[in-house]
Each structure stands twice: as C-alpha cells, then as structure tokens.
C-alpha cells in the first residue's frame, strides 16, 4: 500500500556513533570483519535498482523488528516460559542488524533512494490485544514468525546457497541462520500457547496463518510483475530470473503451508520444529 502523502516520511536511519555504536558493535562482532570492500560498483542503472531494493528490504527488516518486539511483549503478557520469552526477545535485535546490513549494501551500491513510508502504518500495524493473552500471542507468532519468517527464511537460504562473493555469503548466511531461528521460535511459541487455546481460538489462529500465507503469495506476485533486470548477482531477488524466483516462492509457501496444516491438526510438536 503506498504511503499517503499526508503521513509519508523519508525512510532514513542514523547511527548515534561513539560509545553507543561501540556497545552495539560488541553484540554483532563479526559484521565489521566482513569484506565490505567487495561491494560492487555496478553500472549506473543497475546500481539504482540494487539500491532501491536493498533499501526496500531494509525497511522490511526494520518493520520486522517492530513486529517481533510486539511478539516478545505478548509472550511476557501471556506468561510464556522464561527461556522461551528470552529467546524471542533476541529476535528484534537480529532484525535491526539485518536492517544495518541492507543499508550498508544499499549505500555501497550508490547511496540513498527516496523511499517514503508511513511510520504508523508500517510499524504500528499490530493486532490489538484482547482479554485472551495466549490467543493474542498465538496470532502474532503465527503471522509474524511462523509464516512471514518461515517464507523469508526459505528465500534467504536460497540466496545464501547461490552466493559467490564472500561478503554476500556472510550477509545471506547471517540472515538465513537468523530467519530460520525466528520461524522456529514462532512454532515453539505456538506449541506452548496451544495448551491455552480452545478449539475456536485454534481455528482463528489457523485462519490468521492462512491470511499471512496469502500475503506472502501477494508479495511473490508483486515480484513477478517486476522487470527481468531486477535479477542480478547482488540482487535481493537473486540472479535466477522470474521462473527461478517463482519456483522458490512456491516451494517456500508449500513448506510453510504443510507445517501450518500439521499444527491445525494438532500434529506438530517440539521435535518437528
Ligand atoms: Fe530479518
Ligand atoms: Fe527474521
């Protein structure tokens, strides 16, 4: 959904720097050792496209940080076990690191693009809480982690498998590891929440998962409408072109749908996730 002109603001992120950056960097120590000098200097037209889509992905990662912070809050509110809640509370940090990685690639490929967004619509679009904390947690975990992160993790895994440049291998490898953990955390949250859901709530959470999968299908359709030149070695969509990306998206959706079906039948336990 395009941002409304009245509320749109440029998407740009600052670093505070100094001691703050030093403390942050200690929490993701490997990133600064990566070969950032590998960033390509592509032809101008290609650089603009790369910059555009890496910036777009930075915004998606930033939005994921907000959504997953909300999942962590809901886990606390629902009284989820401490180890499970602590695990999930790490996820927003990962997403902010991913945001940094995307911004660094975008900047390296030619600098900022004027991407506008509606902060409230993108970052405040979270499910209102009800008087059923476990169900609220289950809805959020299903949509944000099990489905959204599940589909994303399959895409970034494919990017990582195909990455040739050492820097790309580091970036996609970090994301693939983290997104898979986020999706797994979602299913573990649902496994815990299941005991607190009645049949009606379970059916509603399943429906939330199916709607989230429809959104993932919509996102894949949007990529299908892009021109072929968005695919390249450094592209967030990979270099395989439309048929390859569409097959990858379908496989990701099928994998998540199969898991969702099993959860809906009560046939998914900790050993499976
Ligand atoms: Fe991410
Ligand atoms: Fe993630």
- Tell me how far the alpha carbon of residue 220 lies from the centroid of ligand 2, in angstroms: 18
> Candidates 3.40.50.1000, 1.10.3720.10, 1.20.1260.10, 3.40.50.10420; correct CATH number of 48-266?
1.20.1260.10
**For residue 151, how far is its CA from the centre of ligand 2 (angstroms)?**
10
pLDDT of res. 38: 85
Query: Looking at 90-94, 113-117, 152-156, 163-167, which range is the least confident one?
Result: 113-117
Is the confidence at residue 89, as pLDDT, over 60?
yes
Q: How many angstroms is it from 153 CA to the middle of ligand 2?
A: 8
Q: According to the model, what pLDDT value does residue 240 have?
A: 94
pLDDT at 26 over 80: yes
- If one compares 3 and 154, the residue with the highest pLDDT of the two is 154
Using a pLDDT cut of 70, give the percent of the chain over it. 95
Where in the chain are the domains?
48-266
Q: What is the pLDDT of residues 120-160, one digit of tens each?
A: 887 776 666 788 999 999 999 999 999 999 999 999 999 99
In this predicted structure, the answer to whether residue 169 has a pLDDT above a threshold of 90 is: yes
Is the pLDDT confidence value at 1 over 70?
Answer: no
pLDDT of residue 210: 97
Q: What's the 205 CA to ligand 1 centre distance in angstroms?
A: 23
Q: What is the pLDDT of residue 236?
A: 95
Output the average pLDDT for the chain: 92
Q: Which of 10-14, 61-65, 180-184, 189-193 has the lowest mean pLDDT?
A: 10-14
Is residue 3 scored above 70 in pLDDT? no
3-state SS record for the chain: CCCCCCCCEECCCCCCCHHHHHHHHHCCCCHHHCCHHHCCCCCHHHHHHHHHHHHHHHHHHHHHHHHHHHHHHHHHHCCCCHHHHHHHHCHHHHHHHHHHHHHHHHHHCCCCCCCEECHHHHHCCCCCCCCCHHHHHHHHHHHHHHHHHHHHHHHHHHHHHHCCCHHHHHHHHHHHHHHHHHHHHHHHHHHHHHCCCCHHHHHHHHHHHHHHHHHHHHHHHHHHCCCHHHCCCCCCCCCCHHHHHHHHHHHHHHHHHHHHHHHHCCCCCHHHC
At residue 186, the pLDDT reads: 98
Residues 228-244: pLDDT tens digits? 989 999 999 999 999 99
Residues in the 5 Å CB sphere of ion ligand 1: 61, 95, 98
Q: Which ligand is closest in space to the CA of residue 180?
A: 2
Percent of the chain exceeding pLDDT 90 equals 76
pLDDT tens per residue across span 27-51: 999 999 999 998 888 777 788 888 9
Decide if 103 contacts 58 (C-beta within 8 A). Answer: yes
- Report how far ligand 2's centroid is from the alpha carbon of 44 (Å): 31
Counting ligands in written order, the one closest to the CA of 182 is: 2
Ligand closest to CA 90: 2
The predicted structure's pLDDT at residue 114: 83
Q: In the prediction, which pLDDT does 140 show?
A: 95
């Amino acid at each position: 959904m395009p941002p409304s002109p009245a509320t749109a603001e440029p998407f740009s992120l600052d670093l505070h720097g100094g001691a703050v950056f030093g403390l942050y960097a200690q929490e993701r120590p490997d990133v600064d050792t990566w070969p950032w000098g590998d960033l390509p200097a592509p032809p101008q037209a290609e650089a603009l496209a790369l910059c555009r889509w890496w910036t777009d992905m930075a915004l998606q990662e930033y939005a994921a940080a907000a959504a997953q912070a909300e999942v962590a809050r809901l886990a606390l509110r629902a009284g989820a076990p401490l180890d499970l809640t602590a695990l999930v509370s790490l996820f927003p940090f990962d997403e902010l690191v991913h945001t940094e990685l995307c911004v660094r690639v975008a900047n390296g490929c030619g600098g900022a693009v004027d991407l506008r967004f509606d902060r409230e619509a993108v970052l405040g679009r979270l499910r209102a809480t009800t008087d059923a904390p476990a169900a609220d947690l289950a809805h959020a975990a299903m949509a944000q982690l099990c489905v959204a992160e599940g589909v994303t993790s399959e895409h970034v895994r494919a990017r990582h498998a195909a990455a040739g440049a050492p820097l790309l291998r580091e970036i996609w490898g970090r994301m693939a590891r983290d997104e898979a953990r986020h999706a797994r955390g979602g299913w573990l949250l649902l496994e815990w929440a299941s005991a607190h859901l009645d049949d009606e709530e379970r059916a509603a959470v399943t429906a939330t998962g199916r709607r989230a999968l429809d959104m993932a299908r919509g996102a894949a359709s949007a990529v299908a409408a892009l021109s072929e030149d968005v695919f390249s070695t450094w592209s967030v969509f990979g270099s395989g072109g439309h048929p390859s990306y569409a097959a990858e998206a379908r496989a990701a959706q099928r994998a998540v749908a199969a898991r969702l079906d099993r959860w809906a039948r009560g046939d998914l336990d900790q050993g499976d996730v």
